[in-house]
Amino acid sequence: MATRHESLSLQVITSPFLRNVEAANDGSASGVERRMFRKSLERLERINMIDLEPFSSESYQTSDQGPSGDKKQSKLQNRLSREILGVDDAVLSAPDIAQLQSQESRLLSNQLSMNGSLNQTDVDDDASSVVFGGSIASTVPDKYGFFGGSQFSHDTDINPAMVAIFRKREQKWLNMLDDWEKYMTYKYKKVRDRCRKGIPSSIRPRAWQYLCGGGVLMEKNKGVFDELLSQPGDPKWLDDIRKDLHRQFPMHEMFADSNGPGQVELFRVLKAYTILNPVDGYFQGQAPVAAMLVMHMPAEEAFWCLVAICERYLPGYYSQGLEAVQIDGDVLVALLRKVSPSVHRHLTKQKLDPVLFMMEWFMCIYTRTLPWASVLRVWDMFFCEGVKVLFRVGLVILKYSFMKPKTMKECPTMYESMEVLRNLHSSVTEENVLVSRMLKLPIGEEDMERVHRKVVELRKKAASSSTQCN
């Protein structure tokens, strides 16, 4: 059985907001990082400069070896992703950035005003549809690979002028990635702003690895992924993983077939993580996160990005007890009091436990909650700015879902309120509207740090009082 490397141990209940403060004050931070911390609120996140010691290959016991002692190699080393290889101009242009979406919205509005209605044939004349799992599914996937379901999006014609603009943005990202250390050290604000605008789809897999440090982890731990897969693993975790494979985006072209590349690679990624971290093993919330990564990159790259998310971005989220998630749920509600006192009173009066709605939001990083274009935008910002992005998204959803007094009147109990949060209106989740509202929230990182400390102190006092009573 593999032993975990000490430098990758989970930091349960460690505040993601306090990570910058800790890095600036302890001896582990470099001089550059301390200067960046003092410079302004636009600090350099430690999660973007992961510098972990390589795993020691001696700490792993290889159990699956050939007659000559060589480890068996997986038949599925890499996958040819549409977003990496063999893509045409339309797909490569990735029409999911703010400017292009605005252009698409104008085109649709003009067509609606001229024709009075928009039929399916207006969107895609060549597409036919079939019934899949009780739902209508297209036989032609959308630009993200979905055949149907809530994540399916109707593609529209692309304005050639917007394609030219997008090509320039791709080139800017390529130039930035070629000089990544310089940008992250001295021009982090520019990186942040470009992530907020949306990373081009053709650049996104590489950019995510640079932002989260997954590429660095893979480079420093060559061969570890294969070593992990060569081990048998815990049968309990593997059985749980197999049960969940078919539930991950079943209407996506990669995951529709149980023997397809999506489910096969997803299993490898999740299995490897249970062996790397046998204490926490596998949690259901990790599956959609790993599936999202597998959609964009080969299994080994997806694995190291998952490690970065679990160990650096969301420490303790997938641990037994879920205490870190419960704390962040209390933090979210406390922040809501400042953002929207009326909504806070509404939810508090109904005694609606935040874990009931925010657990899936945070643990799955909104992959099961938002339209796919919005999911991608959230992930672009999340990899750059950290977990505070998840709080901002949650605050926007809560505030604008119950903003109208009429909505509150229609939700006299927690059951109606939960129904609203399960069926979010498109006016709340549309990517450009969502991002714009996120950036306008009157909540800063200092607010999150202060509220987090207060929540932790209150929970400690409550636990101490409970112990004394017993």
User: Could you read off the pLDDT of 169-181 as tens digits, one per residue?
Assistant: 999 999 999 999 9
pLDDT of residue 223: 95
Q: At what angle do helices 323-339 and 445-469 cross, to 10 degrees?
A: 130
Which phi and psi angles does 320 have, rounded to 5°?
Answer: -65, 140
pLDDT of residue 138: 57
Which of the residues in the chain have pLDDT under 70?
1-139, 155-157, 468, 470
Taking the C-alpha atoms of residue 223 and residue 335, their distance in angstroms, rounded to an integer, is: 44
- 16 neighbors 387 (Cβ within 8 angstroms): yes
- 92 neighbors 201 (Cβ within 8 angstroms): yes
pLDDT of residue 143: 85
Which phi and psi angles does 109 have, rounded to 5°?
Answer: -65, -40
Neighbours of 122 (CB within 10 A): 14
pLDDT of residue 258: 87
pLDDT of residue 141: 83
Q: Kindly tell me the burial class for residue 395, based on how many C-beta atoms sit within 10 Å of its own C-beta (0-12, 13-18, 19 or more).
A: buried
Read off the tokens for 455: 């929540």
Taking the C-alpha atoms of residue 84 and residue 404, their distance in angstroms, rounded to an integer, is: 44
pLDDT of residue 321: 84
Cα 363 to chain centroid distance, Å, stands at 9
Taking the C-alpha atoms of residue 363 and residue 289, their distance in angstroms, rounded to an integer, is: 8
pLDDT of residue 161: 79
Taking the C-alpha atoms of residue 16 and residue 449, their distance in angstroms, rounded to an integer, is: 9
- 140 neighbors 68 (Cβ within 8 angstroms): no
User: Taking the model in full, what pTM does it have?
Assistant: 0.74
pLDDT of residue 162: 80
Taking the C-alpha atoms of residue 371 and residue 142, their distance in angstroms, rounded to an integer, is: 13
Taking the C-alpha atoms of residue 231 and residue 278, their distance in angstroms, rounded to an integer, is: 12
Tell me which DSSP letter residue 310 carries: I
